[in-house]
Amino acid sequence: MRNLDYGEKEISYLSKKDKKLGKLIEDTGFLECKVSEDLFDSLVGYIATQQISNRAAETVSMRMSLKFGIVTPEKIASLPDEEIKSVGISMKKVQYIKGLSEAVLSGRLDVEGLAGLPDENVASQLTSIRGIGDWTAEMFLIFSLGRPDIVSYKDFAIRKGIMSLYGLKDLDRGTFEKYRKRYSPYGTIASLYLWHLSENGG
């Protein structure tokens, strides 16, 4: 793993663009973000942990790592469905993971090649695979490719963080987009602080 590459330039930009976010950054201090360099393995992890709590996701991730190590398309294709399911995921997610493996093995999806594509192309290719939605694609962009400008509307904790930071009772897509554009081109760094605020009682 490597760290997401950001520093004073990005923090200074966000602080000047948004005083409330700047205060949050100042109060919080520097947040480290690990980026996985094994693209297929990490993508399988995002599918396995989508739509569950952080605690449940940590448990599933730990079980997968202990049971299978780094997963490859070939390894997934060779495993019985029940063995994958035994880490604590639904059979539907097992089928999604198997489908991803088949897409890579058939050449329909070049996971390694995604690293050379713009964000929008990465997202469109990933969401063409059954079981991969916007949230999973956005987590891949942040935590596997280290892209600097991702703020996920589909992520509950991000929405919660924005509402907490600005004192909002709800957050429609239009209001979200206003903030997302304000944070650009360093939306990912803003996301780190919004997650932190959400997870720490913000």
What number of other Cβ atoms are within 10 A of residue 142's Cβ? 22
pTM of the model: 0.93
Instruction: Using the structure block, give the residue that is written with the tokens 């205060």.
Output: 23
Residue 149 CA to residue 131 CA, distance in Å, equals 24
pLDDT of 103-137, one tens digit each? 999 999 999 999 999 999 999 999 999 999 999 99
Residues 69-86: what's their mean pLDDT?
95
For residues 100 and 131, the answer to whether their CB atoms sit within 8 Å is yes
pLDDT value of residue 202: 57
